[in-house]
Amino acid sequence: MAADPPQGIGLRTVRRRRPVTIKDVAQLSGVSAATVTRALQGHPRVLPETRARVQDAATRLGYRPDHAARALVTGISRTIGLLVPTIRDPYWAEVAAGIEPRAAQDGFAVLIASGYGDPVRAGETLEVLLGNRVDGIIVTASAGVAEPRLTPPMGLPTVVVGLDPPVGPLELEGARLAPVPTLLEAAQRHREGVGLSHVGFDDVAAGEIAARHLIELGHRRIAFLAGPATLATVLRIAGVRRVLESAGLELTAVTRGGDTFEEGRAAGVELLRPGHDFSAIIAFNDLLAAGVVRAARTLGVDVPGEVSVVGFDDIALAGLFQPALTTVRAPKREMGARAAELLFEHMLHDLDVQWELLGGNLVVRESTAPPAAGA
Amino acid sequence: MAADPPQGIGLRTVRRRRPVTIKDVAQLSGVSAATVTRALQGHPRVLPETRARVQDAATRLGYRPDHAARALVTGISRTIGLLVPTIRDPYWAEVAAGIEPRAAQDGFAVLIASGYGDPVRAGETLEVLLGNRVDGIIVTASAGVAEPRLTPPMGLPTVVVGLDPPVGPLELEGARLAPVPTLLEAAQRHREGVGLSHVGFDDVAAGEIAARHLIELGHRRIAFLAGPATLATVLRIAGVRRVLESAGLELTAVTRGGDTFEEGRAAGVELLRPGHDFSAIIAFNDLLAAGVVRAARTLGVDVPGEVSVVGFDDIALAGLFQPALTTVRAPKREMGARAAELLFEHMLHDLDVQWELLGGNLVVRESTAPPAAGA
DNA sequence: TTGTAAGCGTTATCAC
DNA sequence: GTGATAACGCTTACAA
C-alpha cells in the first residue's frame, strides 16, 4: 500500500539521460524559460516573432517537454489508466481499441494494466496505475473480476465498461421463472451498488433483439443457453422472456453453459439429444453458440434446418464459422470510445454518476432460418 | 516535434489533486522527509524502529509515492513503451500479454500506443511515448509499419518484436527460384540494416517444420500460398524449399495470397481448380489457410482427403475451424516476454545489438493427412 | 543513523 | 510582452 514492493531492478542501475531542457531552448532563442513555455503552449501574449524564434530553437534542438516535470507542477499527468482482466481476450482488446484513439485525440496516453483474472493481482496493478498519478481510470469489468477493488480509486474519476457482477446461483436458476420486472430491479440494485459511471451493453435489449428475430422467423419454442453466473446472463434472459411473453410464449428451457467453445459444445450435446422440444437456441455468446453448432453437426442435427442458433457479441469467429453465426453484435469499439468520452467529462466537470447502455444490432448470417415444417 | 500540438482539453481545466505527500508522512512519524524515503526504500542505514514507525504512518495515511516526482529526480520513469500497429490484432495482443507481466515483475508499467497501421500516426504516438520519458521501448513491427520511424528513439533502449520488413516484388517472385542461401543472405542484410535488438519468430525453421511434416506424410508436390510481400514470406518459403531440396523435391507453385481470410479463399479458388498438380498447400498464416480450406469445401475438394493444408501462427481460430487446422505455432507470449527481458538487459548494461529467433512447434490437427493413393 | 539543502524540468505568480 | 522566482514531490550528497 505504502512503500514500493521489492523489485528486481534497482532504480540507480538504469542508465540516466541528459536530454534537451527548456533552458537550452531559452538560451538558444535568447529569452527566459518562462517565455519558452508560453511560446510553445500557444499563450496569447507573446510576440509572434518571439514565438517563431522559440519554436525554431526548439525544433533545432529537438526539444521535447518532460512529461514528469510538467505533471509534477500541474498535477496532471495527461495519462489515463486502463485496467483489463486480460488484453488477450479479443473482446476487451476491441474495447481498448476504442479507448485509445479517443484518448489520443485529447493528447492523453493510455497506461494499460492487466488484472490477470485475479482480484489480488488486479488490486496490485491498480496501485501501479495510481502511483503513476493517472488522471482517470477506465476499468473493464468482466465477470466482476476487478469490481471488489473498485473502492480505492474513489476520488479519481473512474468509469467502468462492461460491468458484469456475479449473481447468486439462485438468481440464475430463477431467471427462467421469476417475473421479469423483478429481474430488472435486481439488476438496478447491482448497478447502484457500484456508485461509478458505467458504459455497458444493453443486455436486455440484446435479448429482445435475438428473441424477436427468432419469433419473426416463426419459432415458438426457444431454449436459452446461459453464460457464467453474472448479471449479463440474467438480463439477456429477461430480454428474451419479455418478447416471448408479449407473444404469449415462454422460454422452453434454460441450461447452464459457461463461456467457452468447449462448454458450448458439451451443453449442446446435452441439449440436443433426441426428444428436445425447441426449434431454436439462444446462446449467451458467440463462442458458446459456435460450440452448440459444432455439437449439432457431430450429432447430425442440421443448423439451421432443424435448429436455429443465435449468439451475442459478434466476435471475429462468428463470420468465419460454418455455418456463419447469426448474432447480436455488441458495439465494443463504441463502448470503449464512449467510456473515454465519459471519463473526460468526469475529469472536466463534476459530473454525476451515469449509466449508459449501448444497444446491439442484429447480424443475420446462416445459423438461423424458419423452423422445420412440422415443428 | 517540439511543442505540444493543440489539444482538446486544456491543462488547467482538469481537476487538481491534493494527495498525501512524503511530508505528511514525515510529520506524522516525526522524522524528516529524507528519512521517510530511506525507510520506505529499504535503505540499510535506518533504525528498524524508525522504519516501522514510518511505514506505519505511510500506511495509515495511504501514502503512495508520486511517480512523476520520482521520475523527475531520478530520471527514470519505470515505464516502458509498447508501440503496436493495432491492439485489435489477436497476434499482437498475445505478444503484449507476454510483455506486461514480465515488466510488472520488475515494477515497470507498460504504456501502450497504437500506430493505427499508419507510419505517420505511428510517429506521433512514438512522440507521446518519448514525452513520457519511458525508460525503453518495444516496437512490434508488423509488415514494416513502424520501422521507418525507428531511428528517432535511438539512444533509448529499444527492442523490436516480430520485425517484418517489406521486400520488393522481385524478391517475392524470386523466392521460389532463387538459391536458398541467397534468400537467407538478403534476410540478414535486412536485419542488420535496422541496428536494433530483435526478438522474432524463426520463419525459416517454421517453414522447415511445415514441409517436413508434409513430406513425412508422403506428400511430394507442395504449393505455397504467400503472405504479404514481406521478409517473413520469403523466409518461410526458404525454409520449405530447404527441406524439399534435401529430399530432391521442389516447390510446385507459389501464389500471391495476402493475409486475410477472404484473400485466402480467393487464392484457394484460384489454386484448386481442376488439374492442379499438388497434394498439399502451405499457407503463410492460419487465416489464409482457413480461407483455402473454405474454398476447398465450396469447390467440393476434400481436406485433408484430397489436399492437405498447413498454416502458421496457431491463432485461436485454428483449433475451432472445421477441419481444425494443422499449423506451426508461433510462441507469441514467449516472444513478448523475451523482448521485455532483452529490453531490461539493454537498460541495465550496455548490451550489444542482439537477434533472437524463437522456434515454432508443429500442432497437428485435422487439415493434414497422407496424400490420396493415386497422388 | 538522521537532518539539511539543493535540485530535477516545468509551470504559475508576480512584478516590471 | 517578458523575466525573476517560487513552487510541485521526491531523492541524494553532504553534514551533523
Which of A254-263, B173-182, B207-216, B245-254 has the highest average model confidence (pLDDT)?
Answer: B207-216
Q: What is the pLDDT of residue B153?
A: 52
CB–CB contact B87 A87 (8 Å): yes
Residues in chain B closer than 8 A to A39 (CB atoms): 3
- Distance from the B75 Cα atom to the nearest Cα atom in chain A, whole angstroms: 6
What is the phi-psi region of residue A160: left when phi exceeds 0, alpha when psi lies from -120 to 50, beta otherwise?
beta
Residues A242-250 have a mean pLDDT of 95
Q: Do B320 and A68 touch (CB under 8 A)?
A: no
Residue A237 is predicted with a pLDDT of: 94
pLDDT range class, residue A153, cuts 50, 70, 90: low
Higher-confidence residue of B218 and A346: namely: B218
Nearest residue of chain B to residue A318 (CA atoms): B317
> CA of A32 and C1' of C16: distance in angstroms?
14
- Note the pLDDT tens digit of each residue in A298-322: 999 999 999 999 999 999 999 999 9
Report the mean per-residue pLDDT for chain A: 86
User: What distance in Å separates the CA atoms of residue B170 and residue A189, rounded to the nearest whole number?
Assistant: 65
Query: Exposure pattern of B314-339 as b/e (b: 16+ CB <10 Å)?
Result: bbbbbebbbbbbbbbbbbbbbbbbbb
Confidence class for position A54, pLDDT limits 50, 70, 90: very high
Q: What is the DSSP letter of B113?
A: E
The neighbour count for residue B50, using CB atoms within 10 Å, is 16
Query: In Å, how far from its chain's centre is CA B372?
Result: 38
What span, in angstroms and rounded, lies between the C-alpha atoms of B264 and B367? 15
Most confident range (mean pLDDT) of A122-126, B179-183, B333-337 is B333-337
pLDDT score of B129: 81
| Mean pLDDT (whole number) for B38-46 | 90
How many angstroms separate the CA of residue A21 from the nearest CA in chain B? 11
Per-residue pLDDT band for B205 (boundaries 50, 70, 90) equals very high
Q: Could you report how far apart the first and last alpha carbons of chain A are, in Å? A: 62
Measure the CA–CA gap between B3 and B272, rounded to whole angstroms. 57
Q: How far apart are CA A191 and CA A160, in angstroms?
A: 11
Q: What is the mean pLDDT of residues A190-198?
A: 80
Are the C-beta atoms of residues B251 and B244 closer than 8 Å to each other? yes
pLDDT in tens, B321-332: 999 999 999 999
| Confidence label for A229 from pLDDT (cuts 50, 70 and 90) | confident
Handedness of CA A248, A253, A258, A259 (dihedral sign): negative
Contact in structure between B14 and A347 (CB atoms under 8 Å): yes
Q: Which chain A residues 55-74 have CB under 7 A to strand C?
A: 63-66, 69-70, 72-74
Cell, residue B297: 469445401
User: Mean pLDDT throughout B83-107?
Assistant: 88
Contact between A313 and A91 under an 8 Å Cβ cutoff? The reply is yes
In this prediction, residue A14 carries a pLDDT of 45
Looking at per-residue confidence, does B148 or A106 come out higher?
Answer: A106
pLDDT tens-place string over residues A358-370: 999 999 999 999 9
Alpha helices in chain B (DSSP H): 22-29, 33-41, 48-61, 67-74, 90-105, 119-131, 169-174, 180-194, 203-217, 231-246, 261-271, 286-299, 316-320, 332-348
Considering chain B, what is the average pLDDT of its residues?
86
With a cut of 70, say whether residue B15 has pLDDT above it.
Answer: no
Which nucleotides of strand D are protein-proximal, with an atom < 7 A from a CB?
Answer: 1-5, 7-13
Domains of chain A: 78-167+333-358 (3.40.50.2300), 202-331 (3.40.50.2300)
Of the pLDDT bands very low, low, confident and very high (cuts 50, 70, 90), residue B175 is: confident
Q: What tens digit of pLDDT does each residue of B266-283 get?
A: 999 999 999 899 999 999
Higher pLDDT, B39 or B175: B39
Report which secondary-structure segment, H or E, holds A271. Answer: helix A261-271
Where is mean pLDDT largest: A171-180, B59-68, B118-127? B59-68
Collect all residues with Cβ–Cβ distance below 8 Å to B92 and sequence separation of at least 6: B84, B85, B86, B140, B142
Residue A118 has pLDDT above 50, yes or no: yes
Q: Which nucleotides of C are covered by protein (CB under 7 A)?
A: 1-5, 7-13
| CA–CA separation, A32 and A22 (whole Å) | 9
Name the pTM for this structure: 0.87
A30 CB less than 7 Å from any atom of strand D? yes
pLDDT category at B349 given cuts 50, 70, 90 is confident
Q: Within 10 A of A209 (CB to CB), how many other CB atoms are there?
A: 23
Mean pLDDT throughout A118-141?
81
pLDDT at A141 over 90: no
Q: Is B11 exposed, middle or buried (0-12, 13-18, 19+ CB in 10 A)?
A: middle
Average pLDDT of the segment spanning B72-97: 88
User: pLDDT category, A99, cuts 50, 70, 90?
Assistant: very high
Q: State residue B75's pLDDT score.
A: 86
Strand partners, A309: A281
The fraction of chain B above a pLDDT of 90, given in percent, is: 53
Confidence of residue A2 (pLDDT cuts 50, 70, 90): very low
User: Which nucleotide is nearest, taking the CA of residue A70 and each C1'?
Assistant: C10
pLDDT in tens, A16-29: 456 799 999 999 99
- Residue A68 to residue B72, Cβ atoms within 8 A: yes
The whole-number pLDDT of residue A347 equals 87
What's the Å distance between residue B47 CA and nucleotide C2 C1'? 10
Residues A6-10: contacts with CB within 8 Å, 24+ apart? A6/B42, A7/B106, A7/B107, A8/B105, A8/B106, A8/B107, A9/B106, A9/B107, A9/B108, A9/B344, A9/B347, A9/B348
Q: Which residue of A has its CA nearest to B80?
A: A111
Mean pLDDT of B50-72: 91
Chain A residues with CB inside 8 Å of B8's CB? 105-107
Q: What is the mean pLDDT of residues A121-142?
A: 81
8 Å CB contact of B76 and A348:
no
pLDDT surpassing 80 at residue B348: yes
Q: Do B100 and A112 count as a contact with CB atoms less than 8 A apart?
A: yes
Task: Say if residue B193's pLDDT is above 70.
Answer: yes
Distance from CA of B244 to the nearest CA of A (A): 32
Write down the pLDDT at residue B5: 33
Chain A residues with CB inside 8 Å of B127's CB?
A: 64
